[in-house]
Structure 1
Amino acid sequence: MGSHRADSRAPRRRTPAAADPTPATSPRRHAAPGRRRASKHTGSRGPLFRGLPSVPVLLGVAALAISAGGAVTVSSDDITGASSGRVLAANALGGASSQSSSDLLAGRRTVSRDSRRDALADAADADLVAEAEALTRQRNAALAQFAKQAEAQSRKIALNQWVLPVSPSITTAEFGDYGLWANYHTGLDFNGHEGQEIKSVANGVVTSVGYDGSYGNKTVVTLEDGTEIWYCHQSSYGVSEGDEVRAGEVIGYIGSTGNVTGSHLHLEVRPGGGDPVDPYEAFLVHGITP
């Protein structure tokens, strides 16, 4: 009896059962032959789009992508015109860059810079114009002065234009001839009758009036340049010392006083009151042919 009880209290060894692949709580259901198993997502999405996120998620990702790297711009305009390398990020929601406001500011700076340049250019142009106008005025003034001087000189030349001392003009002896009057003829002789008028050949001042030996009655007229004109052998005088005379004005009368063979005018030209020169050449220089 005792051994039998001891054996009855010993634990029984259970033989493990074969593993059942189907859980006890959810017994496997076998589809009936000839039917397909139902799928949860075949009605709304195909297998091609099964791994893609939804549309709102895609829109958010796209906006972030544009904000992060899709619309980054660089502005290089600064007030000096050099590259500044400023980076302007786009707006995170709409992808719109702040380049528009930056361009507006840059444009303002550019306009301001160009305005200053235009102002400087305009000022430079105004200075050049003013300088050119000043030079023009100076040139016109110089030309006007030159014209006045030329006109005065022309009048002076016209006033000092030489004329022939007698009319008609007939020469009877030339400068350098030899004859009864002297070893060397120092003047130019004009034929004329007694009492014929003698005219001053140019403007001048009477510096001598009187009798001078072989020259007879002589009148000396000194021109502005110092040249002396001698009028010799006169019968009488028409002027006095100190008188101012003009070309063509009567200064005396033809005669035969002094060392002569007949009535005539002996005329000498003495530059600076020095030695005589050929009167014929002097007349030619002043546009007169005796």
Structure 2
Amino acid sequence: MGEIILNSYGKINLALDVLYKRDDGYHEIKTIMQQIDLKDTIMLRDIDEGIIIESNQKGVPLDSTNLVYKAWEEMVKKTGINRGIHITIDKNIPIAAGLAGGSSNAAATIKGLNTLWELNLSQEELMEIGVTIGADVPFCIQGGTAYAQGIGEKLTPLNKFSNKLVLLANIDVSIPTAYVYESLNLDAKDNKKDINKLIEYIQKDNLPLLAQNMFNVMEKVVVSKYPILEKIKRTMMEHGALGSLMSGSGPTVFGLFDNESKLYSCKKELEKYVNKIFVCKTI
């Protein structure tokens, strides 16, 4: 019986622009995705048949609604290999937080099954399977830093933007991504952002300029519903963050720092009113 253990890393969006709603119901986006070292751990173990999902977190679905189930299902469909699997998810990434925790778990499952079942599929083939499960899954397979277009599946790797200090604050509410998309005013003038400048700052490894110019067009919708997010951003900026932004469709807010003592001073202040705070780095 084979067994494999994999790290399942989260991500933040350094920029996120939503262009329009497509005919297929999805939204066309432009985003810069950055992997972070906040991680879950996924253990895959061969069993005779079917699939069993376990997790240390009560909120993690253990049925077919979990993306790791869909990943196993797609790998069976793609390869014709119908082997059973026991998946244990040791969860650290907050659930439904805009950090791609579920997508990352699915990506780790796809990569793990490729190894466990000795399929020798290329990364490109794994990413093609991944996009059928979720728009963020191909990035979670690829990792690093990337400019994403389409629904998030068209990836252009960027220079590594690694070892940057990140402070995450999560208010532990679940915000449906569909609600955020439908609430966007895509015609608003302040939605028109130049993502190319941020790509340029990443390519030049210019953390201050990148941090000062980050944007997320979804932020206004979520902040209007949860004003505490604006307070978190303000606290981060007042305590030395170079920039602060909501990741994805929220509700996690992150700050980028170049000074560890300022980061921990900010963390101490945030702990007065935020329960879930994480210190991590970009990968």
TM-score (norm 1): 0.19
Higher relative contact order (CA 8 A, sep 6+): 2
TM-score normalised by structure 2 residue count: 0.19
Q: Which has the larger radius of gyration?
A: 1
Structure with bigger strand share is 2
